[in-house]
């Protein structure tokens, strides 16, 4: 009973992490478009050098600076895109197999436990079987949740 529920929760958390990753990616693109829009003021000041246009361009950093910011953001966007593709492929694999890496022991099947023997004496670290996955290192996802999530990953893999 407890196994499928924990696996379902782990899957939902993984979906939340993927959504956050995609949010970060979109923020990077927003930053790029903001810089493009700002640089338009500078172009306008060159095309039509009215005092109003010059004033609007006044606070825009030099094109060299904007260009290098855009380059940094573009590199970040590419890294984020690769990382999202990896996460989506992992998600598709999770759905295909109906098992997910145990978040408690990170697949090790064991968790460290500190036992204090006596005050002032170094506590003993021992390894216990992971209570969540019972030492297996993974959690099983229920059929219902697998079916629901399958429809999501079916679409998501089109990004990769």
Positions in the binding site for Zn ion (CB under 5 A): 102, 104-105, 130, 132-133
Residue 71 beta carbon to Zn ion: minimum distance, rounded to whole angstroms: 42
Given the complex with Zn ion, which of 61 and 103 has the nearer CB atom? Answer: 103
The least distance separating Zn ion from the CB of residue 101, rounded to whole angstroms, comes to: 9
Angle at 155 between CA 149 and CA 160, to 5 degrees: 115
| Distance from C-alpha of 86 to C-alpha of 70, rounded to nearest angstrom | 24
Neighbouring CB atoms inside 10 A of 20's CB total 10
Q: Are 105 and 50 in contact (CB under 8 A)?
A: no
**Shortest distance (Å) from residue 3 CB to Zn ion:** 11
* 89, HSE (Cβ side, Cα atoms, 13 Å): 7
CA pair distance 133, 108, nearest whole angstrom: 10
- The CB-of-99 to Zn ion minimum distance in angstroms stands at 12
Q: Are 28 and 77 in contact (CB under 8 A)?
A: yes
């Amino acid at each position: 009973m407890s196994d499928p529920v924990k696996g379902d929760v782990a899957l939902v958390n993984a979906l939340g992490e993927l959504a956050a990753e995609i949010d970060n990616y979109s923020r990077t693109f927003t930053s790029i478009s903001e810089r493009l829009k700002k640089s338009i003021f500078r172009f306008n000041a060159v095309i039509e050098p009215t005092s109003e246009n010059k004033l609007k361009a006044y606070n825009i950093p030099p094109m060299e600076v904007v260009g290098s910011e855009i380059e940094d953001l573009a590199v970040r966007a590419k890294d984020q895109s690769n990382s999202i593709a990896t996460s989506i492929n992992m998600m598709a694999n999770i759905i295909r197999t109906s098992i997910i890496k145990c978040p408690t022991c990170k697949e090790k099947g064991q968790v460290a436990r500190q036992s204090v023997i006596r005050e002032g004496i170094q506590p003993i670290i021992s390894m216990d079987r992971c209570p969540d996955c019972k030492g297996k290192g993974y959690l099983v996802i229920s059929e219902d949740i697998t079916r629901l999530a399958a429809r999501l990953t079916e679409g998501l893999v089109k990004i990769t």
